Amino acid sequence: MQHKMTRRAMVKGSLLAGALVPAIGLIGTAAEATALTPLDPSDPTAKALGFVTDANKAASNPAHKAGSKCATCAQYQGKPSDASGPCTIFVGHTVPSGGWCSSWAAKPA
């Protein structure tokens, strides 16, 4: 017994799949956002990069530039107005927008 798929069934299936893909993506993004934890300054990577939760405390670091902080860094994924946000350097963690580390790089204009 052969089951032939009609053109109508194929179009319906395609439209349904096309509608579900973005919805599944939104669910995954929401789950990732809630799984992030604040970065602990005693984390080995944070220590290696001189991470501090307050950029003013990094003023004595030779790599620190005036006005540099997480919110103005190219690696910071949050909005500058957010209290904290994800960072591409510290995957799985959030960093305070007023923090700083030696990997700071100015956001492109």
The structure's pTM equals 0.66
Which tens digits make up the pLDDT trace of 49-69? 999 999 999 988 898 999 899
- Radius of gyration over alpha carbons of the chain, in Å? 22
How confident is the model at residue 12, as a pLDDT? 80
pLDDT tens sequence across 3-32? 777 888 777 877 777 777 676 666 555 555
Q: pLDDT > 90: what percent of the chain?
A: 54
pLDDT above 70: residue 87: yes
Beta partners for 96?
Answer: 84
Residue type, 36: L
pLDDT at 47 over 80: yes
State the residue for tokens 């501090």. Answer: 52
Q: Give me the pLDDT at residue 109, please.
A: 75
Taking the C-alpha atoms of residue 65 and residue 76, their distance in angstroms, rounded to an integer, is 17
Structure tokens at 70: 């997480």
The pLDDT of residue 15: 74
